[in-house]
Amino acid sequence: MNPRADEDFCRAMLPLVSRTFAACIGLLPQPTRHRVLIAYLLCRIADTVEDSAELPAPRKRELLDHLRRCLEDGGPEAGPLVAIFADAATHDRLLTREADRTLREFRAFPPAVRAAIRPWVQEMCDGMAGFAALQPQPGEFQALEGVADLDRYCWYVAGTVGHLLTDLFRLQSPAIAADPARYARLKALATDFGLGLQLVNIIKDVADDRQRGWSFVPRELCRAHGLAAEQLLDPGQGAAAAAVMRQMVAKARTHLDRSLAYCLELPEADYRLRLFCLAPLYFAVRTLALAGRDPRLLDPAHKVKIRRPEVYRTLAAGYVVAPSNRLVAAYFRRLSA
């Protein structure tokens, strides 16, 4: 048997489940690149369970709890996941059916690496289990109730990732490891780094989510503008809906500003850690700028996205500006204009 079969499987699966993340992860130095790969795939497995509309909420909670126990030292194998996703009808379901491959790679990490990953993936599993009951049934509509619920959801699915990355970065970077004050500043901003990126995804995908009976735009926010969440895409409610989305955009921008501060706290000597964080941040702030002025933002037939030539220009610019805090901040401001 190929001793690297599990590692090869994990590397092969990444571009199949996320081309965007696969493009960014190559910016990281080893061994952090492989550690982040495995952590990402574990999060993706949890997300696949959460997104499986055919599973009732109690079953999702059972599977997510089983996954969290798999991450403990001496934890069980992924048997229930293997059985539920045996059809492997999509790449995500194949990844989940073969979860033991990712888990074996995780268990091969040194204890400090496992300790950096475990609590955050477990926190994600716990949060997803709690939100499982909100899954809309066919023909139903569900929306988050308050802004606090939105923050809580984003914490579980993205804020946790900001902390996971920060803890892995400390293991990679002597400059972070030797400077407790810098590490504390990074941890204080880590939640924002995750939330900013997640909120941009929510904003650009509002119409798609509505098509599947779901809204991450809170009812509380809609009511403040005289709108029911069910009416957000109603053409007759354009002015009120635009006001709601302006608030969502402003909220995301606040988190992205703090995400920039996170990137600036990464040591300039850790060039590749900076590149890895700047790429998604720059894409997010540019997408948010486009969304904020797009009159068709809530049109189901329209997608807000950065064109491919601009993606390449942004990546290339990241290589140039990453060593300089002044240039990093200036390019962020340019993209947000």
**How far are the Cα atoms of 82, 119, 143 from residue 114, in angstroms, in the given order?**
23, 9, 35
Residues 191 and 310 in one domain: yes
Tell whether 329 and 224 lie within a shared domain: yes
Same domain, 163 and 274: yes
Structure tokens at 274: 């900076």
> 84 pLDDT exceeds 80?
yes
> For residue range 268-283, what is the model confidence (pLDDT) as tens digits?
999 999 999 999 999 9
Residue 242 — pLDDT band, cuts 50, 70, 90?
very high
pLDDT at 138: 73
Let me know whether 181 and 219 are in one domain.
Answer: yes
Considering only 86-95, 112-121, 254-263, which range has the smallest mean pLDDT?
86-95
DSSP 29: P
23 plus 95 within the same structural domain: yes
- Shared domain for 205 and 285, answered yes or no, is yes
User: Which CATH number goes with the domain that contains 277?
Assistant: 1.10.600.10
- Check whether 132 has a pLDDT greater than 90: no
Instruction: List C-alpha distances in Å: 323 to 139, 178, 263, 298, 337.
Output: 51, 20, 11, 38, 22
Residue pair 21/95 in contact by the 8 Å Cβ criterion? no
CA atoms of 97 and 94, how far apart (whole Å) = 5
**Residue 160 shares a structural domain with residue 215:** yes
Q: Are residues 102 and 183 in the same domain?
A: no
**Domain limits for position 61:** 1-111
129 lies in some domain: no
Looking at per-residue pLDDT, the higher value among 136 and 313 belongs to 313
Residues 65-83 have a mean pLDDT of: 96
Determine, yes or no, domain membership for 130: no
Q: Please tell me whether residues 75 and 198 are part of one structural domain.
A: no
Q: Is residue 117 part of a domain?
A: no
Residue 322: both structure tokens together: 């990453």
Whether residue 122 lies inside any domain: the answer is no
Token reading at 175: 């400059």
Assess if residue 127 is contained within a domain.
Answer: no
**Are residues 216 and 91 part of one domain?**
no
What is the C-alpha end-to-end distance of the chain, expressed in Å? 54
- Determine the Cα angle at 311 with ends 310 and 314, to 5°: 80
Looking at the structure of the chain, the number of domains it has is: 2
* pLDDT bucket at 208, cuts 50 / 70 / 90: very high
Instruction: Examine the pLDDT at 316 and tell me if it is beyond 70.
Output: yes
Q: Indicate whether 119 belongs to any domain.
A: no
Residue 295 pairs in a beta bridge with: none
Domain co-membership, 272 together with 311: yes
Let me know if residue 64 belongs to a domain.
Answer: yes
Share of the chain above pLDDT 70, in %: 100
Binning pLDDT at 50, 70 and 90, where does residue 1 land? low
Average pLDDT, rounded, for the chain: 96
Q: Is residue 191 part of a domain?
A: yes
Residues 87 and 177 in one domain: no
